[in-house]
Amino acid sequence: MDLTELTVHELQKKLKNKEVTSYEITKAYLDRINEKENEVGAFVTVTETEALADAKKADDEINNTNDNMGNNNLVGIPIGIKDNLCTKGIKTTCSSKMLEDFVSPYNATVVEKVLDEKMPILGKLNMDEFAMGSSTENSAIKVTHNPWDLNKVPGGSSGGSAAAVATNMVPWALGSDTGGSIRQPASLCGVVGLKPTYGLVSRYGLVAFASSLDQVGPITKDVTDCAMLLNVIAGHDEKDSTSYDTPKIDYTTSLKNDVKELKIGVPKEFFGDGIDKEVKDKLYEAIEVYKELGATVEECSLNVAEYALATYYIIACAEASSNLGRFDGIRYGHRTTNFSSLKELYTNSRTEGFGDEVKRRIILGTYVLSSGYYDAYYKKAQKVRTFVKQKFDEQFKKYDVLLTPVSPTTAFKIGEKKENPLQMYLADICTVSINIASIPAISLPCGVDSNGMPIGMQLIGDRFAEETILNAAYTFEQKIKFRENYKPTFKK
């Protein structure tokens, strides 16, 4: 039996029954990385030695606790971490030349939580530089390939995380989502990804891109694993003043395989001309599945996508231009050798360290915040943000869940959109409004197109309604059994 084919909840049962050890599981995943990493390119750093040592410690703990392993015990289950989450003693590069040799002196809170569970870390996963992009092509480290077709992108910015989960190189992974960076790569790689409500998960130690939009979330093989990983990372953190003090919930108890009471709204504006016909058709099939399962499904109107995308690129770039001001070549990060003054040290370090897309967004962000343009762009965008939130609030008075596409198309070819930033930005049209409104959404596979590429469905919930969208996703997943029917082919 190939252990890497299993979901975490399946692995957990085997660990509990002492059929396998954490060492065997971790070794199996490392072997899989050795076999497939050359083709896929998902990792920035593989931490083989540390992972195997941690797995041995986990096995000791399991042997010493005898039969006391509870259902929520994740001791010994390995994980992959997106390379913008700080890991003490392991490089955190953000896939940027700026941080290529940066080793954080502390752990992100979510990493601390993972380590508290005694989960071995398999490595750090590739991404668009500083999480800016929708294809992982903006990584300064390497190109990541989509395991369903190696000529295509895995999506982004958490493309390494999604590709690694789809390739079975990690059992699950952490990603981050500022405008779709968990959900879109999950969709393009045929796996499950959740962007939690803003404030549910601590951002402490997540290298900041746009602080009012960033959230850390799970990328997993199925919905049950997604709920289990959310259990690990959710919760208030005094080190993040925007994190919410909400009651502790066991999200796995929300998976009821029943949507008879569920009211689903389908916003027609998310099914417009820009969305590929095969994507739309697959989602219409999914809607029929929900009707068969007893849910109430209605078409509704939510005309926010274009406003939200424009607002997103103003707010995200403005916040990024401010957040990335910290990279000055002095305290950490790339430092130029070519300078004769302090200003030159700053400018040359930043110009050499940042890639094109990061510079482009810093310039745009500085522009919209600069004197004379602030009211026309930033202030207006903040008002439109209120408008977008209100429009979602209206929908959640009528519906429990909104159903939309995740990405307008399935995975596109590597290089296809790289030279046209605006085209790349349009890849986020269905996902950014969720970050603008601070609400949660899950992406899960609902089928494949005529080329065998996965198509994702997005289920959007009201603030802190993760249980509702997880159950809706789970019930659908139990019906269509995507993982049993479709597998990545590593087509060349």
Partner 1 sequence: MSVSKEELLHIANLADLKINDSEIDKYIENLDDILEYVKVLETAPISDLNETIGANNNANVFRKDEVQKFENVDGLLSNAKDIERNMYKIPKVL
Contact status: 91 vs partner 1 (CB under 8 A) = no
Q: Which of 22, 96, 181, 321 is catalytic?
A: 181
Window contacting partner 1 (CB under 8 A); options: 153-161, 187-195, 255-263, 330-338: 330-338
Q: Which two tokens stand for residue 92?
A: 């955190």
- Token pair 């930005």: residue: 425
Q: Are 454 and 188 in contact (CB under 8 A)?
A: yes
The CB-of-44 to partner 1 minimum distance in angstroms stands at 17
Q: Which is nearer to partner 1, 31 or 306 (CB)?
A: 306
The CB-of-104 to partner 1 minimum distance in angstroms stands at 8
User: Following DSSP, what letter does each residue of 258-293 receive, concatenated?
Assistant: --TT-EEEEEGGGGSTTS-HHHHHHHHHHHHHHHHT
The CB-of-362 to partner 1 minimum distance in angstroms stands at 5
Q: Which two tokens stand for residue 236?
A: 């208030």
Q: Which is nearer to partner 1, 86 or 297 (CB)?
A: 86
Q: For CA atoms 234, 237, 240, 243, give the dihedral sign.
A: positive
Window contacting partner 1 (CB under 8 A); options: 187-195, 421-429, 468-476, 484-492: 421-429
Q: Which two tokens stand for residue 455?
A: 């198509």
Strands (E), 423-489: 441-448, 454-460
The only residue of 49, 64, 66, 105 in contact with partner 1, by rule CB under 8 A: 105
Q: For CA atoms 398, 403, 408, 414, give the dihedral sign.
A: positive
Does 157 participate in catalysis according to the annotation? Answer: yes
Q: Are 458 and 441 in contact (CB under 8 A)?
A: yes
What is the contact mask toward partner 1 in residues 354 to 383, using x (rule: CB under 8 A)?
x----xx-xxx-xx--x------x-xxxxx
Contact status: 347 vs partner 1 (CB under 8 A) = yes
Task: Give the Cβ contact number of residue 386 at 10 Å.
Answer: 12
Contact status: 418 vs partner 1 (CB under 8 A) = no
Residues from 259 through 318 that contact partner 1 (CB under 8 A) = 306-307, 309-311, 313-314
The only residue of 242, 254, 296, 478 in contact with partner 1, by rule CB under 8 A: 242
Q: What Cα–Cα distance (Å) separates residue 325 from each residue in 318, 322, 349, 367?
A: 11, 5, 12, 14
d(CA 371, CA 387): 25
Q: What Cα–Cα distance (Å) separates residue 303 from each residue in 81, 311, 357, 429?
A: 35, 14, 29, 12
The CB-of-99 to partner 1 minimum distance in angstroms stands at 9
The only residue of 71, 253, 386, 451 in contact with partner 1, by rule CB under 8 A: 386
Residues in contact with partner 1, counted by CB under 8 A, come to a total of 65
The CB-of-420 to partner 1 minimum distance in angstroms stands at 8
Contact status: 241 vs partner 1 (CB under 8 A) = yes
Q: Which is nearer to partner 1, 331 or 492 (CB)?
A: 331
Q: Are 39 and 490 in contact (CB under 8 A)?
A: yes
Q: Which is nearer to partner 1, 204 or 377 (CB)?
A: 377
Contact status: 335 vs partner 1 (CB under 8 A) = yes
d(CA 317, CA 215): 16
Residues 6+ apart with CB under 8 A from 193: 158, 162, 175, 177, 182, 183, 185, 186, 187, 217, 218, 219, 220, 226, 442, 443
Q: Which is nearer to partner 1, 348 or 407 (CB)?
A: 348
Window contacting partner 1 (CB under 8 A); options: 79-87, 158-166, 171-179, 327-335: 327-335
Characterize 210-224 residue by residue with b for buried, 16 or more Cβ atoms within 10 angstroms of its Cβ, and e for exposed: bbbbbbbbbbbbbbb
What is the contact mask toward partner 1 in residues 423 to 452, using x (rule: CB under 8 A)?
--x------------x--------------
Residues from 134 through 173 that contact partner 1 (CB under 8 A) = none
Characterize 435-451 residue by residue with b for buried, 16 or more Cβ atoms within 10 angstroms of its Cβ, and e for exposed: bbbbbbbbbbbbbbbee
Q: Which is nearer to partner 1, 314 or 401 (CB)?
A: 314
The CB-of-347 to partner 1 minimum distance in angstroms stands at 5
Q: What Cα–Cα distance (Å) separates residue 120 from each residue in 26, 50, 74, 125, 306?
A: 8, 8, 10, 15, 42
Burial class of residue 11 in the structure, from the number of CB atoms within 10 Å of its CB (0-12 exposed, 13-18 middle, 19+ buried): buried
Q: Are 36 and 169 in contact (CB under 8 A)?
A: yes
The CB-of-83 to partner 1 minimum distance in angstroms stands at 16
Q: Which of 22, 104, 139, 157 is catalytic?
A: 157
The CB-of-241 to partner 1 minimum distance in angstroms stands at 4
Q: Are 251 and 263 in contact (CB under 8 A)?
A: no
Contact status: 333 vs partner 1 (CB under 8 A) = yes
Chain positions contacting partner 1, by CB under 8 A: 102-103, 105-106, 198-199, 212-213, 238, 241-242, 244, 306-307, 309-311, 313-314, 321, 325, 328-333, 335, 339-343, 345-348, 350-351, 354, 359-360, 362-364, 366-367, 370, 377, 379-387, 389-390, 421-422, 425, 438, 463
Which residues carry out catalysis?
A: 82, 157, 181
